[in-house]
Structure 1
Amino acid sequence: MEPARRRRITVFGTLLLVILALAGGSWWYWHSENQKLPTVMPAPNFTLQNIDGGTTNLYGEQGKVRLVEFFFANCPDICPLTTANMAKIQDQLKQKDVFGQDVEFLSISFDPERDTNDVLKQYADRMKMDRAGWKVLRGTQDETAQVADSFGVYLEKQADGSFVHSTRSLYLIDRNNQIRKVYSMGNDMPSDEVYNDILKLVRE
């Protein structure tokens, strides 16, 4: 085969591989962006006290995409790390002009004996939680334990007042009160995935 012809075939083959790679990448991106999140289960309804006054009923918040976190303020590691990650997602959503309007965060304390309104307000300020779109909720020990149990969150109070709890305690709920995804917390929290999933539900 002549060298010139061989070069043409080589160039053509390279271009074809590039085109196929780009087409495959474009399909994968389109597919991942447009694939709907599955429905896990209906979100259990609840009513708890809002530290900024009044009560919050989950089904009363219908119409917004919500990210629900279970935590306690004295948690030494997983909870504050999760809340810090949520605060970063909060700031990203603000740049999209959807936080507080289309998206709302709910943080539910399951340690009412120590997590008073004042303690939780200090925690919220320290963690840079914008309460215009982020509600911090509490209730009695029985109320919060019941809510956690209805979501499938495992809780066990220790002798020192701390808690052992599920590390998958972060729930993404759509506008129609359906849980669409459950995430790990702390170091295992997939923050980019959470952010992208929230935007998917906003666009639905």
Structure 2
Amino acid sequence: METAQKRNNLFWNGLIGLMILAFIVGVAYWFWSGYTKLPVLNRAPNFTLQNLAGENVNFTDYNGKVRLVEFIYTNCPDICPVTTAKMVNLQKDLQEKGIWADKVQFVSVTFDPEYDTAEVLQKHADAMGIDQSGWTLLRGTVEETQKVVESYGNFVEKQSDGTFIHATRSLYLVDAKNNVRKVYYMGEEMPIDEVLHDITKLAKE
């Protein structure tokens, strides 16, 4: 009788121990997932510009997809082409993961629409290796594009030689619900591995 009682006590003690362990693991995972989750910085401003076919595109047309948004001009001598080249590498990684175009959309907005015509942007896309099945290039009037740039808290100023002074921390990660989740530096400082990790994470949310 005493042996049976001991076995019974051992069973219940073991069960309680497992329940406590499961609770601790659950709480730890809850804290970990909350800590590693990308914060919501703010809502992504909506806008309407034209694609290379001259069709109006609303930014919210891509709701449901993770978006990486860059502001560029094709005459840029350094930061813009370096950023786009790194995004092309990301494009290849996302294609391999099977989430390109389906769950992820890249958006490039030119802030030099006077030079960056649809034809110029198409040549740029071809030269850089941009896959337009999941990457949209947009333009508008000078006033329209300036308004979009400013709505994202960006800074652009045209110089007398046709170049632009612009913010280098202006690569925006937007989730499927239209929230800005992260802003990265462009050019050589662009953290390509971090961007890929963040995009992949958001695509699973």
Q: Same fold by TM (over 0.5)?
A: yes
2:38 paired with 1:73? no
The amino acid that maps onto 1:176 is K
Aligned to 1:91: 92
Aligned to 1:203: 204
The amino acid that maps onto 1:44 is P
Aligned to 1:126: 127
What are the residue-to-residue correspondences of 1:38-187 with 2, within 5 Å?
38-187=39-188
Where structure 1 has 5 or more consecutive residues not aligned to the other structure, the ranges are 1-26
CA-CA distance at 1:199 after TM superposition: 0.5
- Between the aligned partners of 1:75 and 1:52, the Cα distance in structure 2 is 23
CA-CA distance at 1:35 after TM superposition: 1.5
The amino acid that maps onto 1:62 is N
CA-CA distance at 1:32 after TM superposition: 8.0
**TM-score between both structures, scaled by the size of structure 2:** 0.83
The amino acid that maps onto 1:112 is P
- Between the aligned partners of 2:134 and 2:69, the Cα distance in structure 1 is 12
CA-CA distance at 1:53 after TM superposition: 4.0
Deviation string for 1:77-136 (max 9, x for gaps)?
000000000000000000011000000000000001100111100001111000000000
Contact 1:47/1:55, CA 8 A, preserved across alignment: yes
C-alpha RMSD of matched pairs (Å): 1.8
CA-CA distance at 1:52 after TM superposition: 3.3
- Between the aligned partners of 1:41 and 1:118, the Cα distance in structure 2 is 34
The amino acid that maps onto 2:180 is I
User: Percent identity among equivalent residues?
Assistant: 53
CA-CA distance at 1:33 after TM superposition: 10
CA pair 113-53 structure 1, distance change in 2 beyond 3 A: closer
- Between the aligned partners of 1:86 and 1:33, the Cα distance in structure 2 is 28
- Between the aligned partners of 1:32 and 1:72, the Cα distance in structure 2 is 38
The amino acid that maps onto 1:128 is G
The amino acid that maps onto 1:100 is A
The amino acid that maps onto 2:122 is K
Where structure 2 has 5 or more consecutive residues not aligned to the other structure, the ranges are 1-27
